[in-house]
Structure 1
Amino acid sequence: MSNIYGPGGTLPPIPDDLTIAQFILDAAHVSRPQVVTSCLIDDSTGRKTKMDEVCVRIRTRALAQSLQTHWDIVNVLEILFLECCLADYPVAVWAVHLLGGIVTAANPAYTTGELEHQLVTTEAKLMIVHPASYAVALRAASTAGLPMERIILIDSLKDANSRPHHIVQELITEGYQHHSILVESRFRPGEGRTRLAFLSFSSGTTGKAKAVCIPHYATIAAVIQLAHLVNSQPRSSDERKIRPGDVWLAHIYGLVVMMHFAFFYGGALIVVPRFNFVEMLKSIERYRVNVLPVVPPQVVLLCKHSDVKNYDLRSIRLLISGAAPLSAELITQLSQILPSASIGQGYGMTEVVGSIAFPQMEQKIGTPGSAGRLVPGMIARVVRPDGTIAKIGEPGHLLISGPATALGYLKNEEATKETFVDGWVHTGDEVIINEQSEIFILDRIKELLKVKGYQVAPAELEGHLLDHPDVADICVVGLQDDYSGELPLAFVVPSTKATERIKRDPAEAERVRAILMKHVADAKVHYKRLAGGVEFVESIPKNPSGKLLRRVLRERAREMQKQGKLSSKPRAKL
């Protein structure tokens, strides 16, 4: 069979005439529980913002009114958020969507150059910033030509002499007086399929990250897919792993699973401003967390951190691991730490918006090695290298189709044609899919690294390092690591001058390594640093057309790691 369908039957209707905010805050839908108790809970204060009181809905409309009044937001205005896990973050996102604006979220750890790239690419007209990221945001805005008065702060700056900016809470208070006259964006039937809601950046295999164009319809579809998956389980609602009223710890998987699906399905979201493992344990115990989304580095901490035994984690009913594969050995260890919890893996990518696969709801422990089962509404193909369709259980390149797919890459026609082909998203992952529609990821055809759940494009680091005078040629590969998943390791051919210096003084080799690692650390976000180290080689293996034979060096790195022959000790830390 050429196509493999996510089980669960036909999806309920997916509205294509609503903004995401209208769907989440106002729309009745057959997939939604009848009793919805959604709320946002500030982890540090315990303050609840409920949907139905002086609440998320009213705060969203009040902020939208102020944004409309001050900046006349209309359909195509892009707003950049420096991501922050605060209770008003969803409020701010949905306020923009009510007005038909587009949101592009940036990692708060970005350097000035990385943030400037996103500002310029998206042509953002406003920026909403957490005070902790203010200095970087101000420099990036200045370089990108964004006026200072178009920077909005999530909270006040501590410096009394700082420049004046609008504050989100002040805008909400101001909007309370006028939100009844708010003019919301209204879509015509079908318009939600093409009107953009998000420009989410995803690392490609070449150059800098690309902006993925995500329409309102795709995000709504992703929410309905997950709700339909939960609702289609044969057990009663009290026996399901995900239930209305569940407490979720909201610190990752922010776009669809947490901020939209969990809220839509009646969850209480514990909003954590900054990840700290011990504080996470305290929050689980304090709020009796039921659903815990994690990434493999956090699983390692749950298995190995000495403080775990000091906290009561028995409230956890479901632990979902995603962003990178989780080994069967770690799952076994984790099941001993959390014996009452169901444990499973999920799999997704920005270009497919939501989840491609989700943990098997009928299993206490997901099938070892599986990245989950195809969600309802997803259609998969596995393609052999010669372009023919693979059989069930046979490896090949995974192609995905379904309602929750992006439209392409912003201002990048070549990359769009490469990834989005005739209604299919080419994931770049080599997989096997079995008779139960479970996905097993074998390798990354696109060669992206996954560091602590983040995508890292080797070509981006290679391009940066080639600018250094001590580098003649380079290839970056991933070094396997239990905590981080992978660590960037650079195989470097030193320049002629650097080689001469090393020959004169062998100690110079270590100095050059340190210089190159600092060269990356000074310009790139923390997870892109060369934590795997630098290895000097005489040449980089390439095929006749000049393409890097990255797999050759990846295998060499694994062998060197196994034999303890790496020049630098990998720098991942618990």
Structure 2
Amino acid sequence: MEFQPLKPQLPHIPDDLTIGQFVFDHAHAVRPKEKPGTPWLIEDATGRSIGKEELRERTSCLAKALRYKYNVGEDDVVLLFSRNHIDYPVAIWAVHQLGAIISGANPDYAENELLYQLQATKATILIAHPDVLSVAEAASRQYGLSPERLLIFNTSTSKNQTKITSIEDVIQLGRTHALSTFQERKLKPGEGKTKLAFLSFSSGTTGRPKAVAIPHYSPIANVIQIVVHNRVHEEYCAFEDRRYRPGDVALAVLPFYHIYGLVINLHCLLFSGMSLVVVPKFNFVQMLESIVRYKISHLLIVPPMVVLLCKHPAVKNYDIRKSVRMIMSGAAPLSHELNQQLFHMLPDAHIGQAYGMTETCTASTMWSLDRKRGVSGGSGTLLPGTIARIIKPDGTLAGYDEPGELWIFSPSNALGYLNNEEATRETFVDGWVRTGDEAKIRPDGEEIMKVKGFQVAPAELEGCILEHKDVDSTCVVGVPDEYSGEVPMAFVALRVDAAKRIEGDPREADGIKASIMKHVAENKVAYKHLAGGVEFVDVVPVSPSGKLLRRVLRERARAMKQREIKAKL
């Protein structure tokens, strides 16, 4: 059967606006009235507040200068290699004014990972955070990007000591030159459904990371879905009990390059009339200090942050109950234990989970407004306009409480993968997105599912591991982890000479495992490290056609973890 939300129909979704035009100026019927004097962004380190009109001016000036100094135009790609920054959204909206496209990259990427994204997107401008400038310079040199097309964001803690042009200087250029002939890109009716806004990277369900082609219509649709689901625009109860209210203050620690931070934390909350405290890099104790300093009411976080909230000894030194009134966790499931601890810690707060992915342009489900507390193990109910299928292994449609692969149909779904027809055909089927995640839906509509946060493509890690001199073949699988939801584990078959070394001295085994893990750590971002460990096997199992039998090793890994748990009891 197909599952649909018991919700009102979605209102009109504009298909002729860029995401910036939608956030700045669109008086949509579901947009709440903004509280006068509410800043849009607050810089965490300094307390500097920036309002709507200042952001509008900075966006316009940056767009003008990017057009006339750097010739950024239609469908050019600007890659943002940066931590969260108050000018990060300014760069997004300015690039969109030019008809160009944004691609956000993880600032913790190694040089080869950034180079891969530059090549895949054919980026013409790279904007980096000063903290990661050395990696940006090295990757851009390999890519062949001219030095003047590498720009950096300014930081409040240090002056620009390099010859690299800062975004502040570019904005000032746009401010001092009239550039009267500049005209912002306007979309024709219906063009928002095909005009690309973002190339956001995802591992999908197989293969190396792929650029997900996201048109302007998709994030706009998802913002409206979330607003309607949460009745942000309605006075449905007493003001103090409403989940989202204009003038509330949210923490923006989720990275803006990631779809969760980009669409929900940034664009949806700004549309909802809230202020965002922009945090460049997560530090738990500093986060507690920020909650108290700025009276933060809304935390949009991920399970590792929830673990710290529940278990870190520093929490007792900060009275976060005074301000925190909503916590949403996404990207991986929370255990029942963690949910209960959160409920006990913040008994009056709205607390729940959501589910989404880059390919669905963020949220597909969210915990219901009918309940203050989400169901443990559940990711909420379907958002308005979203339809779900659960496909059983035999290809038939599942019913309630039957597990299978989750398929999503939503107005927010992306268009496909850039320049990858095969992967697009596998994941995007007649308007549906095959998520690759296992799920089941209860009769009350609450979804229960297994999900991952930052997606790790096994094939990408396997390619890296095969570069190691002692490895003959390998297979990477995900194993459960309380802190991260799921972490990579590698099964490795060794080359003959390495196996003989271990036969001669069994202590060699630990050294080779450590060497393999170090090789991955030196070449991949932290969440791709082999936190699940390395296990040696005589032979990596493959099918007659040569396909890795990942399921066999995944079951073996789970059995190993179960034995470890029993041994500790």
Superposition TM-score tier, normalisation by shorter sequence: over 0.9
Q: Which residue of 1 aligns with 2:517?
A: 517
Tell me which amino acid in the other structure corresponds to 1:254.
G
Distance 1:441 1:479, change over 3 A: same
Match among 234, 237, 246 for residue 235 of structure 1: 237
User: d(CA) in 1 for partners of 2:125 and 2:160?
Assistant: 23
Identical aligned residues as a percent: 51
Deviation at 1:460, TM superposition (A): 1.0
Would the aligned equivalents of 2:59 and 2:91 in 1 still touch at CA under 8 Å? yes
Deviation at 1:375, TM superposition (A): 0.8
Match among 406, 421, 425 for residue 413 of structure 1: 421
2:49 paired with 1:41: no
User: d(CA) in 2 for partners of 1:38 and 1:197?
Assistant: 25
Deviation at 1:40, TM superposition (A): 0.1
Q: Which residue of 2 aligns with 1:4?
A: 3
Deviation at 1:400, TM superposition (A): 0.9
Match among 368, 378, 393 for residue 370 of structure 1: 378
Q: Which residue of 1 aligns with 2:142?
A: 143
User: d(CA) in 2 for partners of 1:411 and 1:48?
Assistant: 41
User: d(CA) in 1 for partners of 2:380 and 2:368?
Assistant: 6
Would the aligned equivalents of 2:10 and 2:384 in 1 still touch at CA under 8 Å? yes
User: d(CA) in 2 for partners of 1:509 and 1:65?
Assistant: 59
Q: Which residue of 1 aligns with 2:257?
A: none
Would the aligned equivalents of 2:5 and 2:387 in 1 still touch at CA under 8 Å? yes
Deviation at 1:159, TM superposition (A): 8.6
2:362 paired with 1:360: no
Q: Which residue of 2 aligns with 1:497?
A: 497
Pairs within 5 Å for 1:150-299: 150-155=149-154, 162=162, 164-177=163-176, 178=178, 182-231=182-231, 234-252=236-254, 253-299=260-306
RMSD: 2.1
Tell me which amino acid in the other structure corresponds to 1:316.
V
Distance 1:153 1:161, change over 3 A: closer
Deviation at 1:467, TM superposition (A): 2.5
Deviation at 1:238, TM superposition (A): 4.3
2:541 paired with 1:541: yes
User: d(CA) in 1 for partners of 2:44 and 2:194?
Assistant: 36
Deviation at 1:543, TM superposition (A): 3.8
Would the aligned equivalents of 1:359 and 1:373 in 2 still touch at CA under 8 Å? yes
Q: Which residue of 1 aligns with 2:396?
A: 388
2:356 paired with 1:348: yes
Tell me which amino acid in the other structure corresponds to 1:401.
F
2:539 paired with 1:532: no
- Between 84-93 and 200-209, report the one with greater CA deviation: 200-209
Tell me which amino acid in the other structure corresponds to 2:349.
A
Q: Which residue of 1 aligns with 2:341?
A: 333
2:323 paired with 1:310: no
- Between 376-385 and 141-150, report the one with greater CA deviation: 376-385
Deviation at 1:196, TM superposition (A): 0.1
Match among 328, 331, 334 for residue 320 of structure 1: 328
* Contiguous gaps of at least 5 residues in structure 2: 255-259
What SS does structure 1 have at the residue aligned with 2:68?
A: helix
Distance 1:181 1:41, change over 3 A: farther
Deviation at 1:204, TM superposition (A): 3.2
Pairs within 5 Å for 1:68-83: 68-83=67-82
User: d(CA) in 2 for partners of 1:487 and 1:195?
Assistant: 36
User: d(CA) in 2 for partners of 1:441 and 1:294?
Assistant: 18
Would the aligned equivalents of 1:207 and 1:463 in 2 still touch at CA under 8 Å? no
Distance 1:166 1:7, change over 3 A: farther
User: d(CA) in 1 for partners of 2:109 and 2:440?
Assistant: 35
- Between 454-463 and 148-157, report the one with greater CA deviation: 148-157
Q: Which residue of 1 aligns with 2:448?
A: 440
Distance 1:174 1:159, change over 3 A: closer
Pairs within 5 Å for 1:18-29: 18-29=17-28
Deviations 1:484-523 (A, max 9, x none): 2222221111111111111111111111112111111111
Tell me which amino acid in the other structure corresponds to 2:123.
A
What SS does structure 2 have at the residue aligned with 1:456?
A: coil
Distance 1:159 1:265, change over 3 A: closer
What SS does structure 1 have at the residue aligned with 2:170?
A: helix
Q: Which residue of 2 aligns with 1:572?
A: none
User: d(CA) in 2 for partners of 1:8 and 1:383?
Assistant: 23
Would the aligned equivalents of 1:38 and 1:263 in 2 still touch at CA under 8 Å? no
User: d(CA) in 2 for partners of 1:34 and 1:499?
Assistant: 68
TM-score (norm 1): 0.93
User: d(CA) in 2 for partners of 1:181 and 1:28?
Assistant: 27
Tell me which amino acid in the other structure corresponds to 2:14.
P
Q: Structure 1 runs of 4+ off > 4 angstroms?
A: 156-161
What SS does structure 2 have at the residue aligned with 1:425?
A: strand
User: d(CA) in 1 for partners of 2:375 and 2:86?
Assistant: 35
User: d(CA) in 2 for partners of 1:510 and 1:439?
Assistant: 42
Distance 1:68 1:364, change over 3 A: same
What SS does structure 2 have at the residue aligned with 1:119?
A: helix
Deviations 1:15-66 (A, max 9, x none): 11111111111111111112253510000100000114xx111111111111
Deviation at 1:260, TM superposition (A): 0.4
User: d(CA) in 2 for partners of 1:436 and 1:345?
Assistant: 16
Would the aligned equivalents of 1:38 and 1:264 in 2 still touch at CA under 8 Å? no
* Contiguous gaps of at least 5 residues in structure 1: 445-449, 570-574
Deviation at 1:266, TM superposition (A): 0.4
Deviation at 1:547, TM superposition (A): 3.0
User: d(CA) in 2 for partners of 1:108 and 1:236?
Assistant: 42
Would the aligned equivalents of 1:61 and 1:182 in 2 still touch at CA under 8 Å? no
Distance 1:245 1:158, change over 3 A: closer
Tell me which amino acid in the other structure corresponds to 1:144.
Y
User: d(CA) in 2 for partners of 1:261 and 1:176?
Assistant: 29
User: d(CA) in 2 for partners of 1:493 and 1:199?
Assistant: 36
User: d(CA) in 2 for partners of 1:179 and 1:379?
Assistant: 47
Would the aligned equivalents of 1:247 and 1:289 in 2 still touch at CA under 8 Å? yes
What SS does structure 1 have at the residue aligned with 2:523?
A: coil
- Between 332-341 and 366-375, report the one with greater CA deviation: 332-341
Deviation at 1:154, TM superposition (A): 0.4
User: d(CA) in 1 for partners of 2:380 and 2:398?
Assistant: 19
